[in-house]
């Protein structure tokens, strides 16, 4: 997307927060780097009988507040710097929603769209054979992310339990429900973001039920945001959506459920009946009230930030806005709900999954929703109030909340 190094961006964001907080030099330097990282070379037998060698990574960024937690991405452009950035953002994310976990992330450079189910299973098991001994409910807990699924989590848990010789459902989250998954995990990321939009609407006196909205990236997070926006906010008009193959626009509105079905049937949003094509670039600067960037990092840069017309940008994707663009959006008065707040619903329900696995007792969907709503609403207001008090943009406000909490944990442990 933007071509900027995401880890350099993550460090730059931290630097700004450290300066604003007057953080001491040692704590600042400590928080700029992952505490631990692993690189793997994974040989996998492919269906054609040949062995293919994949590169895998796991970064345990900071565990001062609890075991590291974070998803696994399988993406052709995965790099260690992307994983480091995402692991840093997980550290701030678990802190902003105040759950007792640290931040981590992992990935494999691969293209799952070109792999059979058998090849994916062998890759999942190879990854766990390499990293398994560093994982565990009290150590480091992976989860799904871009192009990884509950089925992949199931294979990983099975491989881990085979290695360890007993049951360990809490070693990974985002599992299918029959083998220890939680109710409500599927739509938790989008649901948490929509709760934040509801709260932002109250503070800005903007009625989301009468608003137009657009979604960049129509995958897991984007599809649920499309439907939940209307379900939880009592209305709203979905005017555009896009995925890696292109986008669709209909200013009169599209039925989100029908668009999801169209994507499932055809593999993309393109050619949705009644719509006209729109590029990803055009979608981002569309005249709409609420924009949900839900694809990958680096979508909003200094090149297009000045043209953004949305009043609220709810960042379901990780790192969709570069630091230069942040300042431009703030000066324009765009209300950004920053990624590690907006998309924290996923890790919050992952945490609920770990808790249920450890208790071996499972909550109802209503219990999950009400606990998630409480966590997200509290986090939203903590960030909003901090940003107002310090007169900074919301991302910096969120950093001030999270970095204060993580730095305090590091100090209490006597690390810095
Ligand atoms: P996903 O793979 O289900 O969906 C990604 C979508 O983005 C796909 O529809 C893909 O076609 C689209 N896309 C890729 N490149 C694009 C481009 N250049 N322009 C427009 N669309 C493009 O992944 P997901 O789980 O929905 O994750 C999306 C984002 O949300 C990622 O940044 C991820 O890290 C973040 N996130 C997801 C979760 C979760 O629980 N799913 C949690 C936290 C953060």
Question: Does residue 228 share a domain with residue 143?
Answer: no
Whose C-alpha lies nearest to ligand 1, atom 31? 317
Distance 1 CA to ligand 1 centre (A): 13
Whose C-alpha lies nearest to ligand 1, atom 18? 244
Question: Does residue 61 share a domain with residue 154?
Answer: yes
Whose C-alpha lies nearest to ligand 1, atom 5? 219
Question: Does residue 323 share a domain with residue 208?
Answer: yes
Domain boundary among 316, 342, 368: 342
Question: Does residue 270 share a domain with residue 159?
Answer: no
The pLDDT value recorded for residue 1 is: 45
| Residue 381 resides in a domain | no
The pLDDT value recorded for residue 180 is: 97
Ligand 1 atom nearest residue 339's Cα = 44
**Structural tokens at position 406:** 């993580």
- The answer to whether the beta carbons of residues 66 and 351 sit under 8 Å apart is no
The pLDDT value recorded for residue 164 is: 97
pLDDT one-digit tens code per residue, 401-411: 999 999 999 99
Give yes or no for residue 51 having a pLDDT over 80: yes
**Structural tokens at position 23:** 């953080």
Question: Does residue 283 share a domain with residue 230?
Answer: yes
| Residue 359 resides in a domain | no
242 within ligand 1 shell (Cβ under 6 A):
yes
Question: Does residue 193 share a domain with residue 161?
Answer: no
Give yes or no for residue 76 having a pLDDT over 60: yes
Distance 111 CA to ligand 1 centre (A): 15
The pLDDT value recorded for residue 3 is: 61
| Residue 135 resides in a domain | yes
| Residue 233 resides in a domain | yes
| Residue 404 resides in a domain | no
149 within ligand 1 shell (Cβ under 6 A):
no
**If you average pLDDT over residues 289-296, what whole number do you get?**
95
| Mutation probe of ligand 1 site: the residue of 110, 220, 248 with most atoms within 8 A of C-beta | 220
Helix, coil or strand: residue 80:
helix
DSSP string, 307-370: G---SEEE--SSS-B-HHHHHHHHHHT-EEE-HHHHTHHHHHHHHHHHHHHHHT----HHHHHH
Question: Does residue 193 share a domain with residue 158?
Answer: no
Question: Does residue 255 share a domain with residue 138?
Answer: no
**Structural tokens at position 80:** 């260690």
221 within ligand 1 shell (Cβ under 6 A):
yes
CATH number of 111's domain: 3.40.50.10860
- 393 HSE (CA, 13 A, CB side): 22
Q: Residue 363: phi, psi to the nearest 5?
A: -85, 165
| Residue 2 resides in a domain | no
Counted domains in the chain? 2
What is the residue range of 243's domain?
A: 188-342
Domain boundary among 102, 132, 167: 167
Of the pLDDT bands very low, low, confident and very high (cuts 50, 70, 90), residue 67 is very high
Of the pLDDT bands very low, low, confident and very high (cuts 50, 70, 90), residue 10 is very high
> CA 157: distance to chain centroid?
21
The pLDDT value recorded for residue 146 is: 86
- Distance, in Å, from the CA atom of 47 to the CA atom of 123, rounded to the nearest integer, reads 12
| Residue 250 resides in a domain | yes
The CA–CA distances, whole Å, from 406 to 66, 69, 391, 412 equal: 10, 14, 22, 10
pLDDT one-digit tens code per residue, 336-348: 999 999 999 999 9
DSSP string, 145-185: -TT--HHHHHHHHHHHHHHHSS--GGGS-S--GGGTPPTT-
Question: Does residue 132 share a domain with residue 236?
Answer: no
Percent of the chain with pLDDT over 70: 99
Question: Does residue 132 share a domain with residue 77?
Answer: yes
Question: Does residue 287 share a domain with residue 214?
Answer: yes
Ligand 1 atom nearest residue 189's Cα = 40
2 within ligand 1 shell (Cβ under 6 A):
no
**If you average pLDDT over residues 48-52, what whole number do you get?**
98
The pLDDT value recorded for residue 118 is: 98
| Mutation probe of ligand 1 site: the residue of 92, 110, 145, 181 with most atoms within 8 A of C-beta | 145
Distance 165 CA to ligand 1 centre (A): 35
CATH number of 243's domain: 3.40.50.720
**Structural tokens at position 82:** 């992307």
Q: In what order do the strands lie in the sheet with 51-62?
A: 36-45, 51-62, 103-109, 68-75, 140-144
Report the catalytic residues.
105
* Average pLDDT value for the chain: 96
146 within ligand 1 shell (Cβ under 6 A):
yes
pLDDT one-digit tens code per residue, 230-243: 999 999 999 999 99
pLDDT one-digit tens code per residue, 14-25: 999 999 999 999
| Residue 383 resides in a domain | no
Question: Does residue 307 share a domain with residue 202?
Answer: yes
**If you average pLDDT over residues 190-194, what whole number do you get?**
98
The pLDDT value recorded for residue 299 is: 93
Give yes or no for residue 396 having a pLDDT over 60: yes
Of the pLDDT bands very low, low, confident and very high (cuts 50, 70, 90), residue 318 is confident
Domain boundary among 110, 135, 167: 167
**Structural tokens at position 380:** 């939203």
The pTM score is: 0.94
Q: 70 has which bridge partners?
A: 142
């Amino acid at each position: 997307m933007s071509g900027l190094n995401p880890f350099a961006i993550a460090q730059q964001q931290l630097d700004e927060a450290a300066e604003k907080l007057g953080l001491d030099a040692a704590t600042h330097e400590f928080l700029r780097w992952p505490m631990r990282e692993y690189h793997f070379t994974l040989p996998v037998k492919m269906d054609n009988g040949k062995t293919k060698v994949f590169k895998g990574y796991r970064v345990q960024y900071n565990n001062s507040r609890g075991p590291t937690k974070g998803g696994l991405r399988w993406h052709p452009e995965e790099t260690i710097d992307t994983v480091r950035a995402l692991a840093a953002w997980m550290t701030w994310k678990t802190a902003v929603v105040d759950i007792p976990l640290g931040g981590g992330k992992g990935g494999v450079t691969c293209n799952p769209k070109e792999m059979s189910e058998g090849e994916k299973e062998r890759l999942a098991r190879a990854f766990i054979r390499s990293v398994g001994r560093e994982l565990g409910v009290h150590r480091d807990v992976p989860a799904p992310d871009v192009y990884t699924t509950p089925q992949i989590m199931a294979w990983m848990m099975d491989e881990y339990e085979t290695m360890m010789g007993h049951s360990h459902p809490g070693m990974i989250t985002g599992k299918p429900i029959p083998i220890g998954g939680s109710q409500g995990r599927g739509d938790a990321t989008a649901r948490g973001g929509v709760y934040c939009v509801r709260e932002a609407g109250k503070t800005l006196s903007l009625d989301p039920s009468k608003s137009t909205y657009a979604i960049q990236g129509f995958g897991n997070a984007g599809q649920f945001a499309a439907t939940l926006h209307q379900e939880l906010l009592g209305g709203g008009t979905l005017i555009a959506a896009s995925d890696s193959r292109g986008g669709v626009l209909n200013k009169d509105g599209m039925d989100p459920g029908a668009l999801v079905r169209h994507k499932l049937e055809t593999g993309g949003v393109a050619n949705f009946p009644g719509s006209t094509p729109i590029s990803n670039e055009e979608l981002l600067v569309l005249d709409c009230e609420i924009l949900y960037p839900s694809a990958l990092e680096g979508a909003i840069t200094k090149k297009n930030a000045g043209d953004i017309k949305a009043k609220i940008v709810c960042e379901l994707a990780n790192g969709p806005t570069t630091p230069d663009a942040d300042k431009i959006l703030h000066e324009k008065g765009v209300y950004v709900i920053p990624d590690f707040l907006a998309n924290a619903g996923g890790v919050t329900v992952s945490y609920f999954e770990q808790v249920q696995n450890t208790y071996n007792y499972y909550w109802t969907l209503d219990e999950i929703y009400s606990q998630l709503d409480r966590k997200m609403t509290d986090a939203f207001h903590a960030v909003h109030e901090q940003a107002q008090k310090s007169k900074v943009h919301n991302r910096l406000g969120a950093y001030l909340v999270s970095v204060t909490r993580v730095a305090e944990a590091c100090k209490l442990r006597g690390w810095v």
